[in-house]
Amino acid sequence: MKVLIGTAAVLTVGAALALPAAARSKPPAHHTQRQAELNLLRAKRMIARWHVGFVDPSTGLVRSSTRASCRGHGRGVGGRYTLFDCTVAHGSRKVVLLYVAQRHNGFSVKVGRVSRSSG
């Protein structure tokens, strides 16, 4: 009988400790479509590393008329998504990528395809 009571006490304490840990885990970050597009265009150094010609070498700024277009990928919450399928384009040059939202307005990018078509 004492073993059963001791086991029940250990299980109760273990469950009590596990619940706050589960409550502390944060839900994934979600960004809006506009936020994702602006974050991409503001990331000058990242865009320059693609060597596609989106950055003006004399100023180091993203060229005017460079546009970013993103669409939510997966299940959204109130118009906010964790993943976006995005395209950054200037003229006939395009970069297709996957935008992953992170906390505190952060993000990471996985570049899928770079096209430098002439014409």
* 70-95: pLDDT as tens digits: 999 888 899 999 999 999 999 999 99
* Lookup: tokens for 7: 């086991």
Q: How many CB atoms lie within 10 A of CB 58?
A: 6
Confidence at residue 17, expressed as pLDDT on a 0 to 100 scale? 52
* 17-71: pLDDT as tens digits: 555 555 567 777 899 999 999 999 999 999 999 999 999 999 999 999 999 999 9
HSE (side-chain half, CA atoms, 13 Å) at 113: 8
- Please state the domain extents for the chain: 33-116
Which amino acid, residue 63? R
pLDDT more than 70, % of the chain: 78
d(CA 21, CA 107): 26
Which amino acid, residue 49? R
pTM metric for this prediction? 0.74
